[in-house]
Structure 1
């Protein structure tokens, strides 16, 4: 069981969006909050990312900037340049001019609008992955493939781009967690064999009535050791995470399938539809049927 892939699958909704933008200095573009995660890749030239608070960040060729929660920010050719445009559907992708040229690949992922996964919740608002020699070669490869498909569409491009965008998201997160492997939090959870074993058990069988002793046995450690290490890395007790994962799984099944509620309840560990509906409404503020109908309306994301 791949915990990272499972977590992303549970909160992904809709289709990812991407586009290539060409700007000539001076230029400035504002990116409003999006209902998901966003990214930028500098393909040519350079620019600066300017957050609402904090110092501007210089971006060079090959750099990836990832916004796990779609935070508002500006991209400008220079910290002194004014913002003259706002990202919106249908805007021009190419603006000509006499100044230095910058080419950007920008994209966004629609994520669950009501509940996220704690793995993403703990990430910083902005993740910068500079393009340094020998650093994250797989990420660089998928960036090059994606840029080629966007720049020169060919037969099969419409099928290739969504898959490449999904791969890019996973590679960005993998690169970040690998760099943070010695830190606390979810990066530590992936590196801790006992915690990882419990996460796999919960993800593989959310319908099972797990107890702490059973999870400790699966991890090969004592209950006290599991409780301590799980709290340090995941940020909550094992059974609390079990409930969270059941609800995330249920929300995905409600969005993506027509599974009857009674069957869905059993798949996520509830013996009755009533007990499941009560737990789901406590977590999401909507009854399961209401949530299913509400999620039929896709969000519109501008890149």
Structure 2
């Protein structure tokens, strides 16, 4: 079980949306908030990003640079920080792909701007632990897999050949995993979830929870998976993950239940069994305590 993949899959609520923007200076885009996480890939030229309030100072982006915005808050992209925000951009709707052209007399910038639909109402601790803005610079010559993904995406977007509508969305999904991998790799002195995923023992325990959320896990049994005593495991798990093992187990069970309710038509009794509850009543009570609505109401709200 790949913990990172499972975490992202559990939070995903729709397809990624993206817009290829071809802009010539002077230009500035104010990007409205999105219900998820935002990203930008600079394919040609350069520009400046003015982060959300409280997330730092403006910084310059060059061709090959990638930016990930954890909360999808409103921000500005411009040819220069002093250029007025002359256009509001909401992006492609409903997991689509769009194009935007801004004419001008100045230098050209081509970029891909988009968003991943992620459940921000109950974000996984891994997502909460990310910096508000992740800037992965091409100038460092690091992360060859990310650079290859950017190059392939740029090539696909430049031609818009037959099949692009089927190829581009999965490539944007792949880009997200390369962004998170690169961030994890850049953590010189990792802490939090970066350290938890890098720790052999704790990562084994996390994989066990994700593989079998319905199992009657105890701290002692998870400690054996990690190769640690009960007390040592409990201390190390809480220090790295941010909460005790059984608290995280409950959190993941509810996350898994939410995904099953959104994506399947399984009866509530089956969802309860798969997430470790002995009865539908006990499951419904725990689910309502966590989500604020009963399982059936939650499923209807997603149209499942």
Say yes or no: does 1:251 pair with 2:253: no
Q: Contact 2:27–2:102 at 8 Å: present in 1 too?
A: no
User: What TM-score comes out, normalization by structure 1 length?
Assistant: 0.94
Q: Deviations over 1:214-270 (max 9, x none)?
A: 111111101121112111211001101101111111111111111111111100001
| Paired position in structure 1 for 2:81 | 79
User: What's 1:16 paired with?
Assistant: 16
> What residue in structure 2 maps to residue 42 of structure 1?
42
Q: Distance in 2 between matches of 1:199 and 1:154?
A: 42
Matches within 5 A, 1:183-222: 183-222=190-229
Deviation at 1:16, TM superposition (A): 0.7
Question: 1:28 — aligned with what?
Answer: 28
Q: Give runs of ≥4 in structure 1 deviating > 4 Å.
A: 89-92
CA–CA separation in structure 2 for the residues paired with 1:73 and 1:88: 11
Q: Does 1:57 align with 2:64?
A: no
1:6-63 CA distance string (max 9 Å, x none): 1111111111111210111111111122101110011111111112233111111110
Which aligned pairs between 1:1-303 and structure 2 lie closer than 5 A?
Answer: 1-51=1-51, 52-53=53-54, 54-89=56-91, 93-132=100-139, 134-180=141-187, 182-296=189-303
Structure 1 alignment gaps of length 5 or more: 298-303
Query: In the aligned structure 2, how far is the partner of 1:230 from the partner of 1:87?
Result: 42
8 Å contact kept, 1:184–1:232: no
**What's the offset of the Cα at 1:92?**
6.5
Q: Is the 8 A contact 2:213 2:252 kept in 1?
A: yes
TM-score (normalizing by structure 2): 0.94
Q: d(CA) in 2 for partners of 1:275 and 1:203?
A: 21
Give the drift of 1:152: 1.9
The 2-side partners of 1:161 and 1:271 are apart by 43
Residue aligned with 2:160, SS: coil
SS in 2 for 1:93: strand
Secondary structure at 1:253 match in 2? helix
- 3-state SS of paired residue (1:291): helix
Give the drift of 1:211: 0.5
Question: How far is the alpha carbon of 1:79 from its aligned partner?
Answer: 1.2
Tell me, yes or no, if the aligned pair for 2:17 and 2:91 is still in contact at 8 Å: no
Structure 1 CA distance for aligned equivalents of residues 188 and 244 of structure 2: 21
Supply the distance in 2 between the matched residues of 1:259 and 1:178 (Cα, whole angstroms).
Answer: 38
CA contact (8 A) 1:71 1:125 kept: no
Tell me how far apart the structure 1 counterparts of residues 155 and 259 of structure 2 sit (CA, whole Å): 32
| Residue number in structure 2 paired with 1:300 | none
Corresponding residue SS for 1:9: helix
Cα pair 2:19 2:91 within 8 Å, conserved: no
Question: 2 CA distance for matches of 1:103 and 1:198?
Answer: 44
Measured after TM superposition, the shift of residue 113 of structure 1 is 4.1
RMSD: 1.5
Q: Secondary structure at the match of 1:103?
A: strand
Larger mean Cα displacement after TM superposition, 79-88 or 90-99: 90-99
Structure scoring higher RCO (CA < 8 A, sep ≥ 6) equals 1
Q: Contact 2:91–2:114 at 8 Å: present in 1 too?
A: no
Distance in 2, matches of 1:39 and 1:193, equals 30
Q: Deviations over 1:131-168 (max 9, x none)?
A: 03531111111112122222322222222112111110
Q: What is the aligned residue count?
A: 297
Contact 1:12 1:112 in 2 (8 A): yes
Q: For residues 263 and 188 of structure 2, what CA distance do their matches in structure 1 show?
A: 33
